[in-house]
Structure 1
């Protein structure tokens, strides 16, 4: 599995119990198991939820699914 797919899968898994739509970064943090400290790791790549602010913009919201969140973060991070 590629780093991109591994990180994507971890994000989707972390949001398995989330209620959608997610309309704000605060709602996104609240939906994650460890809030802004939730971390996805694959190989040498580590993405912390608190870093999502660097890759997400207001235009990315609302998110309608965990897959939407994963796509936006993975693409925004350039993986």
Structure 2
């Protein structure tokens, strides 16, 4: 599994049970188990939710699913 796929799956897993749509970065952080401190790791790559939040823009919202969040973050983070 590639780093991108691994991080993607971890984001989807972290958002299991979240209520969608998610309308804002604050709602996204609230949906994560450790809020902005939620961290996904694969090999020597580490992606903290607060860092991922820096690559998201207002235009990315609302998110309709965990998969939508994960694909947007991994693509915008350049993984």
Same fold (TM over 0.5): yes
Instruction: Give the shorter-chain TM-score range.
Output: over 0.9
Q: TM-score, normalised by structure 2?
A: 0.98
What count of residue pairs does the alignment treat as equivalent? 79
Q: What is the CA RMSD across the aligned residues, in angstroms? A: 0.5
**Residue in 2 aligned with 1:20?**
20
* Secondary structure of 2:51's aligned partner: helix
Partner of 1:39: 39
**Residue 53 (structure 1) shift:** 2.4
User: Please, which runs of 5 or more residues in structure 2 have no aligned partner?
Assistant: none
Partner of 2:29: 29
Q: Secondary structure at the match of 2:67?
A: helix
Alignment deviations for residues 18-64 of structure 1 (CA, whole Å, 9 cap, x no partner): 00000000000000000000000001110000112221100000000
Q: Distance in 2 between matches of 1:77 and 1:65?
A: 18
Structure 2 CA distance for aligned equivalents of residues 2 and 53 of structure 1: 22
Q: Extract unaligned runs of 5+ from structure 1.
A: none
Query: How much has 1:11 moved relative to structure 2?
Result: 0.0
The aligned counterpart of 2:2 is 2
